[in-house]
Amino acid sequence: MPLPVAENVRMALDTLRSHKLRSFLTLLGVIVGTATVITVSSIIEGLRRDVADYLEDYGTNTLFIYKFSPGIHIGRLSNEERMRKPLTLEDMEAIAESCPSVKRAVAEAFYRFGMQPPHVDNVRYKGHEVFQVEHTGTLPVYQDVLNARIAQGRFFTDAENLHRASVAVIGHDIGEAFFLNQDALGKTILVNGVPYQVVGVLEKRKGQFFRDESADKQVLVPYHTYRKNNPGADDHFIGAEAYPGKMGDAEDEIRTLLRRRRNVPYNKPDNFGISSAEQIVEQFKDITGAIALAMVVISSIGLLVGGVGVMNIMLVSVTERTREIGVRKAIGARKRDVTWQFLTEAMTLTGIGGVIGILIGISLSLLINALAPKLPSVVPAWAVAAGVMLAVSVGLFFGVYPAVKAAGLDPVEALRYE
């Protein structure tokens, strides 16, 4: 007679309790494989969300334009990319005036990327100094196009830009380094030895992983002031805010305009790059896809080892319970009843291993957040579901042969088995 699923599960738990060490060693591969899936996927998901928050904080309708494609680059840039002529303030003005789908645009001036020796900006205030800051010249519209929120004071004005005023808006980290628990407004800082009066401090940008690279170590000054004090800094980044629902149209209009302004032949590729937050996040997903593939390979090895162990313990179980199988068949149990009994036991064993692996993976994710807060780790629900399904699937796959072997026993011979 068929046994209910609950009874099969109970019998599987009895097997676990009867052979604790053997069961643990059997499930070790499943535990390691599942924990690997959870841990690595939590890091990948945490980084993906962090990158998305960081980029989208600059505006979901904003296009980023530079002489080569803005975004995540693997490997070195080509010589052609490095030698491209910079974008200009006039390019930005043409985009703002001639592209109907663009609401507004802004330019940032800075020293050329890849110059030798590299230009390094530093900021000083009294006895304190911060190196490798992002010092650029920009326009007042920057705060609207790139969603720069003011925590203290204000942004500089068009009049200050026109008259080349020596004023600056500093990033959150610069403010904390120099003016922790103090009012930064009105203080004079030295940027590369040039004095600027602080008129505003920016709020902290979202995201953790990239923040120390640039986001909150900024010193923004009026565009014309910057060009006066840094005549050799002729490289430009352009941000263009599209009207809602017009991102695709804005990108096409900007591309057409810049190809014409930069004299790109119709049969040649662009000699500039245009990206959005969404496109850069997709680039990041493609990169982390390779990591995910490595995760699958590593976890598969653990699951394979665990699966072989499960098959082994189930074959031993079939041998040990031969008389029990014979009795069940003698009183009317069908082949499929015996098959499902052993399959349920195998899936229960690996399912328990999967749950343990998930708990270990979640614990490791929490530990990563505690020990390395700048490396975000978030356990996605899909990873938990995938971990359970993988573990149970291993039991199902590797439990088939022992289950079929048990179901195929001759009841008379099984009853004679000693």
- For residues 75-100, average pLDDT: 88
Backbone angles phi, psi at 60, to 5 degrees: -75, -20
Q: Which residues pair with 170 in a beta bridge?
A: 201, 219
Do residues 310 and 206 both lie within one domain? no
pLDDT tens sequence across 279-323? 877 777 777 777 777 777 777 777 777 778 778 777 777 776 666
- DSSP β-ladder status, 122-125 and 273-276: unpaired
Q: Give residue 1's pLDDT.
A: 41
pLDDT value of position 210 = 54
Q: Are residues 219 and 242 in the same domain?
A: yes
For a pLDDT cut of 70, what percent of the chain falls above it? 85
pLDDT at 189: 95
The pLDDT, as a whole number, for residue 52 is: 78
**Residues 50 and 65 grouped into a single domain:** no
Give yes or no for residue 386 having a pLDDT over 60: yes
Q: Are residues 93 and 38 in the same domain?
A: no
Task: Using alpha carbons, list the distances in angstroms from residue 207 to 24, 43, 140, 201, 375.
Answer: 41, 14, 24, 18, 10
Q: What is the mean pLDDT of residues 230-244?
A: 93
pLDDT band, residue 249 (cuts 50/70/90): very high
46 and 134 in a common domain: no
Whether residue 195 is preceded by a cis peptide bond, meaning omega within 30 degrees of 0, is: no
Asked if 340 contacts 13 with a C-beta cutoff of 8 angstroms, the reply is no
Q: What is the pLDDT of residues 4-28, one digit of tens each?
A: 667 767 766 776 677 677 677 777 8
pLDDT for 2 equals: 47
pTM of the model: 0.72
Handedness of CA 236, 138, 64, 45 (dihedral sign): positive
Q: What is the structure's pLDDT at 354?
A: 87
Instruction: Collect contacts of 121-128 with beta carbons under 8 A, ≥24 apart.
Output: 121/191, 121/192, 121/219, 122/191, 122/192, 123/170, 123/174, 123/178, 123/189, 123/190, 123/191, 123/219, 124/189, 124/190, 125/178, 125/179, 125/187, 125/188, 125/189, 125/190, 128/177, 128/178
Residues 80 and 50 in one domain: no
Task: Based on the fold, state whether residues 184 and 103 are members of the same structural domain.
Answer: yes
Parent domain of 31: 5-54+283-416
Angle, helices 20-56 vs 381-398, to 10°: value is 150
Residue 121 to residue 135: CA distance in whole angstroms: 6
Q: Which two tokens stand for residue 206?
A: 């979202």
pLDDT band of residue 3 (cuts 50, 70, 90) is low
Higher pLDDT, 401 or 85: 85
Total tally of structural domains belonging to the chain: 2
Q: Are residues 382 and 293 in the same domain?
A: yes
Q: Is it the case that residue 251 has pLDDT exceeding 60?
A: yes
pLDDT score of 201: 94
Give Cα 363 distance to the centre of its chain: 19
Same domain membership, residue 25 and residue 83: no
What is the token pair recorded at 351? 């399912």
Higher model confidence: residue 330 or residue 163?
163
Q: Are residues 95 and 113 in the same domain?
A: yes
Does one domain contain both 146 and 67?
yes
Of 130, 93, 90, which Cα lies nearest the Cα of 234? 90
Phi-psi region of 73 (alpha: psi -120 to 50; beta: other; left: phi over 0): beta
Question: Tens digits of per-residue pLDDT, 342-351?
Answer: 787 778 888 8
Give tens-digit pLDDT for 91-130.
999 999 999 999 999 999 999 876 656 778 899 998 888 8
Lookup result for tokens 């998901």: 45
Q: Are residues 335 and 406 in the same domain?
A: yes
Per-residue pLDDT, averaged over 25-47, amounts to: 83
| Last-in-domain residue among 275, 291, 320 | 275
Q: Out of 275, 303, 321, pick the residue that ends a domain.
A: 275
Instruction: Note every long-range contact of 154-160, with CB atoms under 8 Å and residues 24 or more positions apart, other chains counting.
Output: 154/199, 154/200, 155/199, 155/200, 156/199, 156/200, 156/220, 156/221, 156/222, 160/222, 160/225
198-229: pLDDT as tens digits:
999 999 887 766 554 556 789 999 999 999 99
- CB contact burial 96-116 (16+ within 10 A = b; e otherwise): beebebbbbbbbbbbbebeee
CA angle 376, 378, 383 (to 5 degrees): 140
Q: Last residue of a domain, which of 222, 243, 275?
A: 275
**Mean of per-residue pLDDT scores for the chain:** 83
